[in-house]
Structures are given as C-alpha cells and as structure tokens.
Structure 1
Amino acid sequence: MPETGPSGMTPETVEYRSRGRVLFIGATAVLAPWLRRNDWPEPLRPAFLLLDDAPVTAAVRMMRAAGQAVSIQGHLGAYRVRLDDGRDVAAELLEPGEVFDLIVDAGDPPQLARAVAPFGYFAPLAEGRELADVVERLSDWVGEFEKPRYFAYRAELCARRGGGREGCRRCVDACPAEAIALRLTAVEVDPYLCQGCGDCTTVCPTGALSYRWPPRTESLPRWLAALESRPAAPVAFVNAQQPAEPGDGWLVFPVHSVAACGPEVWLTLLAAGAAGVWLQRTGLTAPSVAALEAQFGWVAALLRGLGYRQRGVGWLEQLPEDGAAALVSEPVSLAVVESKIDQLRLALARLTEVAPLQPTSVLLPFPAPLGAVAVNADRCTLCYACVSVCPTGALQAGGESPRLGFVEAACVQCAQCQSQCPEAAVTLEPRWLTDAGQRRRLRWLQEDEVLHCPDCGKPFGSRRLVEQVAARIAGHPLFTGSRQRRRLYLCEDCRIRDLAHD
C-alpha cells in the first residue's frame, strides 16, 4: 500500500515535482507549429513523439512511432512512455534517468482513454480545447505541487481479504481515474492518480475504502445538527467548486465530491427527517454518474418495499416539481459510527421500524450490500472454500459437525463465496431482512453426516465430500482395486499407515 511517514502514519498530502520536461504526442501536421518553435520559455524542455512518417525539418528532440501502440504510465512529474516494440521514449529523448513531467497528447483518439486523466496529462483534441491554449499554460504546471490524500484504506475490512481472484471489485470498476488495482487479498490505490471523486467509497460494501477529506464521522454529525435545526427540510449535496442554488428552505451542503456521500449518509439523513436527499449531477464523470445511479436503484427499491411513497434520493436536476415531505413522521437523530455498514444498518433499522409497510423482507437489486446467500444442497460438498474467503465471517464452518452456517447481518454481498465455490453451489440473494433477530441468528445452510474412519472410528469429515470424490475418480487406474477405493474412507493417520503397509 501507499508509503507511510516517519511516525508510521499515512501522510495527509501527496506531493508532485515537475521540472518542465514535456512530451508532445501526435501527427506531424498537427504538431508542426510547435516542432518549429524555438522560443520555449524556461524551464520547459519539449520533446516530440510523432505518430506518422511525414517529413519534418526541425532541430528538436523527436522520434517516430508510426504504427506503434503507445503505453503511458505515471502521473505529473513521473510519466513513463513505451512503444509496443519495447522502446522507452524517455531513454531515447531525455538524459539518462530522466522521465517526462508533462504530456500533451494531440492524438485522435488520445493514448489514455480515462474519464479522469492524471494531473499533467492533456488531450486537448478529445476535450474540445485548442492545442495552443494548452501549450501556453504549460509553465503553470512546472514546480512543486501537493493535493490531499482523499482516501483511507483498511485492508482487514476489504472484501478481497479472503483471496478471491474473481470476487469483489466494485471499487476498481467504479474508479474513473483507474487509480485502483486488484491484488490477490486486497486492492491498491495509487494516491498520485486518485483525484478524490469518492466513487470507490460509495460502492465499497464494507467501508474498507473511506473518504478522509473530511471523514464521514466528522461531516455527518454537522449535517445532522443542521437538519435538527431545520426539520423536514430537503437536503442538497452540491459541488463546492460550482454549487447549485436549489432555492429557499433547503439545507445545502457543499462537498468536494457528491459521489463521496453514499447510501449510509442518505439513509441516515432520511431517518433523521430529511425531505429527500438530492445530489448535484453537474461536474460528475460518466462513471461517477453510473456508480451513483446503481446506488439510487437499490435504495429506491428498499424504500418502495417498505411502503414509502417518496422517491427519497436522486439527482437535484431531476427533482419533482411538487417537492416532497419528510420521509418519516417520527425523525430520530441517529448515532454516527465509524463502520460504514453499521451506519447503514442503524439507518435501515429506524426506517424499517416506522415504515408504512412491515414486510418480512424486501428484495433488492445488485449492488445492494445487504442480503443472504443460497446453497444448492445437491451440489455443496461442505468443502468450506466459501468460509475461507468470506471477509466478514458471515459464512461459518460447523466445528466438529460437517455443516455450513450463515449470519445474514454480517453479509455484504461481496460475491467472494459465489466466485470461489468449486461446485458453483452458491448464489447471492440481495435483500433486506426486516427482523433484526433473524438477521443476527446463525442458521445452517447445509448439513451432512459425519464420516467415521472404519479402522480407528475417528470422525474426520463429510460423507458427501468423500463420496463425491470417490464417484469422480471411479475408473481411474490408481483406484481400481477395492483396497485403494477403501483408502478414501480412512482418516489421514490410517491412510498413511495403509500406504506404508503397501
């Protein structure tokens, strides 16, 4: 994970240093005016990567990349560029050990297809900007810069902690800056690429990724206090850089990113009496919009299932003309806790308690972080692969008895169990089980007879598992004899003794 400071604490800021080494990428005709330019201001040092073989006469650092794919990695002050033939562009155009600080990509399309480009990377043609305007402002990007470290990460809460290769990846899919990489038992966030959109913290089911600028435990109490002073007011989260003005009677909270305010915040405010929670869409990237709309979807399904008629949450720009009354008639200011999933469940418990309807459960769409798992009894062999990868302890082994237990209150629907089951016996069932006692109760999803060793009598496993293994290897040349087949039903100690006897 990202580096830590001398005290072991994660530093609060990320620092960049740019010395003015600029790489221009594009066709010769597009870059011609700058290829011929000889009055570059200090300390800009331009170099050119030309994507064609058109002739040019210019005394500049340049190389050709006609027909080559261009790979760009890094960020402001530390860009590395390679061609698919293995050539390192900096090694050919700069001094030994140097890298590019800035990139002006005049390609069409650009080399990086990210919704949020790294600092110091400019693609003016794709952005509808004039190349000349970008070039004239390059000097502003030379020097030392810093930005906040927007996120905090706790690997022990991550839904990849169980080691699944195909398990939870919601933060990766949501990040418009492509700043998050999958690792076997965790994720890794590049703090230099992260620009604080907050999408990862909104979609993270466990709270392993949280927003730290400011943290929810600091901001939410202020918002609840403001709502308590203005009961039944609609709440608007707006972009602090370009805030909307929804009108009189609103509680308006400017934030760095509205995407960092997730369902646990919305539902807590609704339980406290807000007349809807509305987010400003202006300024969000397409991935951010998609991530938030997925959260809107399951929250809306939950509220409908509980009998609430109001829409509850949505885009400020799509607010119904008739407005909305407070969602609950008996608002309560809930406690603010550090755990995201616990905050969500606190709000849901209150909304369920005073809901117009009292169903036993409400079915929810993916990606709701609430629900059950179902096990196909004919397929499950009680191998406990699902237990070994469950990051929250929702799935549990039965001790000395071969059985599989489940506690719904702990499940965050991360899909690790489903992806890692070798028998494809596990499926997810997103839902809100309204009875708190039932959510917390350990229930058994699968049980089997204990197999006892025929030689020593020791219980050692599930009869179903051993019999399925025996069925699968039937006919194998190493297990054609009755003694070899019988060996499968022995405990580990007796099996070793039997092998030694042979």
Structure 2
Amino acid sequence: MNERMTETGEVRNGRAREAALEAIGRVTLEPTDLVEYQSRGRVVIIGGAEALEFAPRLEPPLRAQVLLTAGEELPGVPVIPLAGRTLDITGHLGAFTLHLGEPGRPNAEVLTADLLLDLGEEPQLRMPMKPPGYLWSASDEPALSRALDQLRELVGTFDKPRYFGYDAAICAHGRSGQIACTRCIDACPAEAISSLIEQVTVDAHRCQGGGVCATVCPSGAIRYSYPRPADTLEQIRLLLRTYRQEGGSQAVLVFVAASDAEPPPLTANQIPLRIEELASVGLEVWLTALAYGAESVLLLDQGGMPAAVAQAVKQQVTTAGEILAALGYPPHAIRLVGVADLAEAGETGRLGIEPANFAANGGKRQVAYMAIDHLFAQAARARPMASLTVGAPFGTAQVSAEACTLCLACVGACPGKALLSGQDEPQLRFIEANCVQCGLCTRTCPEDAIWITPRLLFNREERSRVRLLHQEPPFCCTVCGKPFATHSVIQNMLRKLEGHAMFQDARARHRLTMCQDCRVVDIAQDPEAMDQGITGKWLQ
C-alpha cells in the first residue's frame, strides 16, 4: 500500500513539474541592449614552426600573420618575430591589440588583429574565460582542423546581449581615493572588470555573461540584465505556484547552467530551471525561492566552474546557511551539489513555510530583505540575529568614542547611506539595513576609529532604525559664538599644528578657534598675517 501511494505521489509530482515548466514559458523576458563585433578575418597566429606550417591553410577572407615565438621564418608567410620581447594582449573579437615590448625601452611595436590563434603549449592569456575571438589550440591535426573551422565562422558581424547594468552611485568599490570592495574584479573569470579608483568599468565586449559579478556585488551596483533578476524571480514564482496548484508537493528547485549538459534523471519533485550560468543567481534569489515555497534549492555543479567563481558561490552558500540556521531552518536547504549527490539531495524535509506571493521588484537588497522578512515571520524558533562570516553583505558598524573626532569622512565615503551626519548637532548616525560591509568607512577614517562586523538583524524595525553611534557638543567660535566644529576636531587641529611655523604666536593659534568668517576678518586686521601673505584659504 505504501509503495502504491509513493508511486502515485511521484506520478502526481511529475505531472505537476511538467505543467510548471510549461507555465514559465509564458514569462516574457525584457530585452536588453546588444553588443556588436565586426571581424574582417585578420588573424595573428602565435607560435613556432607549427604556426608557420598552419598559416598557408588560411584562405580569404582569412588573412594570416605569424607572431613567431621560436624557429626560423619561411618564405611567403608574413612573420613578426617575438625575439625575446614581452607580449601584452588586450581587446576582443574584431579589436585585438598586441604590444611587443623590449625590456628597458618605452616604445613597443603594436599589432592589431580581428582573431588570435594561440598554438603555444601554454596560453598567452591565462584567465579562465578567454575573450571572444581568442582561440588556444593544440597543434595536432584534429585540433588544427577544428581551429580552422572556428576561425572561418568568426568572420562577419556578430552581436550578443549586454549582460550587465552598472550604477556607479551605489558602487562600494572606492571613495575619496580609497579602494575597498573588489569582489566583482576578483571573481570575474573573463577579467572584464577593472578599477577606476572611484568606480569600476566593465568591458562589455569581454563580458560573457558569467554573472558572478552581480552575485557577489553587495550593493547591487552591478546587476544581471538578461534575463533581469525580476524576470528570473517571476519565473520561479510562477513555476512553484503552478507546481502546487497541479498537486505537486515538496518542491526542490534545481538550478542548471544553460551551457552544461542535461542533468541526470531527477526525482519527480526536483524541478530544473536553466539559467545562463550557475553563478548568475545568488543569495537573494535562493532565499526568495524558499519564500515562494521551495523546500530546498540546489545548485547543480557539473564541473567547469573557474576556481574564483566556485569560491564566490560557496561564500554565498555559506552566508545563506548561516541565515537559515539562525532562523531555525535546515542550513542545507540551500546547497551546491554535484551530479553524484543529486539523488540524495532530493530527500528533504518540509520547511513548513506558507508560500509568499509578493512581486520581487526593487533592488538586490530590497528583494533579499523581503524574502528574509517572510522567512522570519514563518519561523518558529528564530534567533534575533544571525552572526555571519566575513564577506557577508550585511552587518553593523561601531565607533570608538575616544578616537572619533566626528570629521564625518566616513559619511562622505559610505555608498549605501548607512552612515549619516547629525541634523542640528555633531553626530554620527547609522542605519544597519543599508550597510553592505564594504569597509570604505574604515579605510577613509583618519583616526582608525570605526570598525565593521558582519551580522543580520531579523527584526525589520530594528534593522531600519537610525542608531546613534557617537555625538559631541558643538564647539562655538570664540569670537561670534557660532557653532562650527567639535571640541575634538579643534583639539586635534591645535595638536597637529603646534609645531607649524605659521602658528607660533598666540594670535595665530587663537585664530584656529574661530569660524571661517571670523578668521578672515582677523587675518585682515593682523599686520603680521598680512605681511606673511596668509589668506583665508589657509584655515578654511
């Protein structure tokens, strides 16, 4: 009898899964901009004798030039010898640039190409995800034949989706000349992201949609654009709702990379969802899937993820597990699994969550908080706070009252507006919900007075409350009485300028206790200051 009931349940789950997968086809994906490539067939072949032998096989519209790394030139083959020079390669399909430099000499010979064929034993470009148009091939005949076919296919005009969007205003990479968050740069397998100190720049032609940059970004400054996160979340909501309506139970959502092979046979309650890359969805998507009614979320790793990408995904899974554990749910309800673990991973208990039906609109953090709030409301044994490991995008900040001078450099640097100044008096205030744990405040503080700690408060009101970190009574101008600084700022300034040649007399030192307007007046009335050429600029 039990076996028959199980079989009936499996059949029902299987039918519900088919209906759910059919339903998500009705979600219309919002289109994105296209990135265009133009390749005219100019090929630079990098290698030795094998490159010289292969070059004559290229026929129009392909045109070959050999960058000879070793060996002697052959007649009739255009050759540029590397001859011990350094080689730096930039660009992408249709726009490669090769800089051939000589040690100790500033000038470099420059080659341009549409396509690169690298026949070296080791590739010249070491990043895991090579730029479009760069082929690294073995020199045996089957490999060379495949390379020739690929080169022929890469002549013409091509386009692809612009996979990312970027909002520099909320980027936590840098402020005030200080660099803090480099998560997207460190994780990108295509090395398509670089620093501009105050923000980052993404080479759209080298970006290949891996998506890990958007997953690790703590603020949502980099976001996935095709499909948009809102479209993916709407697919998940419709998928799980349809599965329940058709009688399915204990849904397990299995994320599968579009580039991977078909997964092995799944249990009837395991619902596969193809995404561009496994790393293109992160913490906020996984938690929202649980809020929408999935009993667990599995990330199917079929191999091939670059090490930095895998590490970034594991970090996100760790943070998700810590949040779930603090809520009283099984931490393994979200996990990264291999093919061998897939069948066992289908055996899951019930989380006992009433499915949410909210539309997951808004930014990355807003979506994450909506899911967390729903899970918290449903939790029977939740703790008030989750302690998180370093690298989590949630946390608090604290200040040393003895060291802080309320210069507010941290306020100007904070990208999420988690740190705020006082409205009418010298204060440093904090909103924990806005803190992305980027560390810009700790790097810009001249007194080393602030530090951050990763954690997550589950009470929404407490998390969003404006909290006072430090305050001081204002320092008032000793001439007009107008408040213009704090006591600690003035004391710090007097101490630092104690030995300065311009502030050796009592009148000059007293000028430091005046507001800007009174300083200018006093300088104009002081013959010694005028003789020394002091202007109001000195003390503003």
- Normalising by structure 2, we get a TM-score of 0.84
Task: Label 1:211 to 1:355 Cα distance change in 2 as closer, same or farther (>3 A).
Answer: same
Counterparts of 1:310 and 1:351, CA distance in 2: 13
2:477–2:484 Cα contact (<8 Å) kept: yes
1:402-423 per-position Cα deviation (integer Å, ceiling 9, x unaligned): 1100011122222221222222
Q: Is the 8 A contact 2:128 2:190 kept in 1?
A: yes
Partner of 2:95: 78
Q: What aligned pairs does 1:222-233 form with structure 2 within 5 A after superposition? A: 222-231=235-244, 232-233=250-251
For 2:64, the equivalent position in structure 1 comes to 46
CA distance in 2 between counterparts of 1:336 and 1:306 reads: 21
Question: Is the Cα–Cα contact under 8 Å of residues 310 and 327 in structure 1 kept in the other structure?
Answer: no
The answer to whether the aligner puts 1:151 opposite 2:151 as a matched pair is no
Per-residue CA distance 1:164-195 (angstroms, 9 max, x = gap): 53122221121111111222433221110110
CA distance in 2 between partners of 1:183 and 1:176 (Å): 19
Work out the CA distance in 1 between the residues paired with 2:490 and 2:465: 30
Structure 1 residue 160: deviation in Å? 4.1
- Cα separation, partners in 2 of 1:458 and 1:310, compared to 1, 3 Å: closer
Q: Secondary structure at the match of 2:330?
A: coil
Matched-pair contact (CA < 8 Å) for 1:205–1:369: yes
User: Aligned equivalents of 1:370 and 1:112: distance in 2?
Assistant: 36
Matched-pair contact (CA < 8 Å) for 1:109–1:126: no
Q: 2:132 maps to what in 1? A: 119
After superposition, the C-alpha distances for 1:370-393 in whole angstroms (9 at most, x for unaligned) are 111111222211111111121221
State the distance in 2 between where 1:162 and 1:40 align.
50
Q: Which AA in structure 1 matches 2:344?
A: E
Deviation at 1:51, TM superposition (A): 2.0
What letter corresponds to residue 243 of structure 1 in structure 2? E
Can you list the C-alpha shifts for 1:394-446, whole angstroms capped at 9, x where unaligned?
Answer: 11111331110001112222222122222222211111112222111111111
Deviation at 1:485, TM superposition (A): 2.0
- The CA distance in 1 between the partners of 2:108 and 2:196, in whole Å, is 28
Deviation at 1:217, TM superposition (A): 1.3
2:385 corresponds to: 361
Q: State the secondary structure of the residue aligned to 1:63.
A: strand
Change (3 A) 1:294 1:143: same
Q: Which amino acid aligns with 2:146?
A: D
Following TM superposition, by how much is the alpha carbon of 1:280 offset from its aligned partner in structure 2, in angstroms? 2.0
Cα distance in 1 for residues equivalent to 2:477 and 2:352: 60
Work out whether residues 170 and 219 of structure 2, in 8 Å CA contact, stay in contact via their aligned partners in 1: yes
**Is 1:500 the counterpart of 2:513 in the alignment?**
no
Look up the match of 2:344. Answer: 321
Post-superposition Cα deviations, 1:427-477, rounded to whole Å, max 9, x if no partner, equal 111111122221111111111121011111111111111111212222333
- Which residue of 284, 306, 310 corresponds with 2:305? 284
Q: Is the 8 A contact 2:165 2:223 kept in 1?
A: yes
Match for 2:49 among 29, 42, 55?
A: 29
| Secondary structure of 2:438's aligned partner | coil
Unaligned 5+ segments in structure 2 are 1-29, 245-249, 527-540
Query: 1:244 and 2:263 equivalent?
Result: yes
- Distance, in Å, in 1 between the alignment partners of 2:120 and 2:464 is 56
2:91 partner amino acid: G
Describe how 1:377-416 pairs up with structure 2 within 5 A.
Answer: 377-416=401-440
Out of 76, 79, 104, the position equivalent to 2:117 is 104
Aligned-pair CA distance for 1:32: 4.0
What residue in structure 2 maps to residue 334 of structure 1? Answer: 358
Say how many residue pairs are matched.
482
CA distance in 2 between counterparts of 1:118 and 1:326 reads 44
CA distance in 1: counterparts of 2:135 and 2:433, whole angstroms: 47
Query: Of the candidates 263, 280, 300, which is equivalent to residue 321 of structure 2?
Result: 300
Single out whichever of 385-394 and 160-169 deviates more from structure 2: 160-169
Contact 2:353–2:375 (8 Å) recurs in 1: no
Q: TM-score, normalised by structure 1?
A: 0.90
Residue 214 of structure 1: aligned partner: 227
8 A contact 1:310–1:324 mirrored in 2: no
What amino acid does structure 1 have at the position aligned with 2:191? E
The two structures, once aligned, show a CA RMSD in angstroms of: 2.4
Q: Secondary structure at the match of 2:194?
A: strand
Alpha carbons of 1:10 and 1:314: their partners in 2 closer, same or farther (altered >3 Å)? closer
Q: Is the 8 A contact 2:101 2:109 kept in 1?
A: no
Which stretch has the larger CA shift, 163-172 or 71-80?
163-172
Contact 1:171 1:204 in 2 (8 A): yes
> Given that residues 236 and 316 in structure 1 are in contact (C-alpha distance below 8 angstroms), is that contact kept between their aligned partners in structure 2?
no
Deviates more, 1:187-196 or 1:482-491: 482-491
Amino acid at match of 2:207: C
2:317 and 2:336 in contact (8 A); partners too: no
Q: Which amino acid aligns with 1:24?
A: I
Secondary structure of the equivalent of 1:230? helix
Work out which of the two has the higher radius of gyration on C-alpha atoms and give 1 or 2: 2
Report SS of the residue matched to 1:228: helix
Moved more, 316-325 or 367-376: 316-325
Give runs of aligned pairs for residues 156-235 of structure 1, distance below 5 A. Answer: 156-160=169-173, 162-231=175-244, 232-235=250-253
Q: Which residue of 1 aligns with 2:15?
A: none
1:373 corresponds to which of 389, 397, 403: 397
Aligned equivalents of 1:124, 1:152: Cα separation in 2: 33
Q: Residues 106-160 of structure 1, C-alpha deviation per residue, up to 9 Å, x if partnerless? A: 2343221111100110122499x93453234321111111111111222333234
Q: Does 1:59 pair with 2:76?
A: yes
Higher mean Cα deviation, 226-235 or 460-469? 226-235
Counterpart CA distance in 2 for 1:387 and 1:224 is: 38
Secondary structure at the aligned position of 2:201 is classed as strand
Match of 1:3 in 2: none
* Structure 1, gaps ≥5 residues long: 1-8, 91-98
Corresponding letter in the other structure for 1:76: L
Q: 2:109 aligns with which of 65, 70, 88?
A: 88
Whether the aligned pair in 2 keeps the contact of 1:270 and 1:328 (CA below 8 Å) is no
Asked if 1 retains the 8 angstrom alpha-carbon contact of 2:184 and 2:217, the reply is yes
Q: Distance in 2 between matches of 1:118 and 1:181?
A: 15
Structure-2 change in CA distance of 1:320 and 1:472 (3 Å): farther
Secondary structure of residue in 2 paired with 1:47? strand
Aligned equivalent of 1:486, options 486, 502, 510: 510
CA 1:179 to 1:363, structure 2 compared with 1: closer, same or farther past 3 Å?
A: same
Structure 1 residues 314-373: Cα deviation after superposition (integer angstroms, max 9, x where no partner): 223145826212334333233311211100001111122222433222111132211111
Q: Which amino acid aligns with 1:265?
A: V
Secondary structure (helix, strand or coil) at the match of 1:486 reads: helix
Q: Distance in 2 between matches of 1:118 and 1:230?
A: 40
- CA distance 1:468–1:409, shift in 2 (3 Å): same
CA positional deviation for 1:163:
4.8
Distance 1:365 1:230, change over 3 A: same
CA contact (8 A) 2:179 2:198 kept: no
Aligned equivalent of 1:95: none
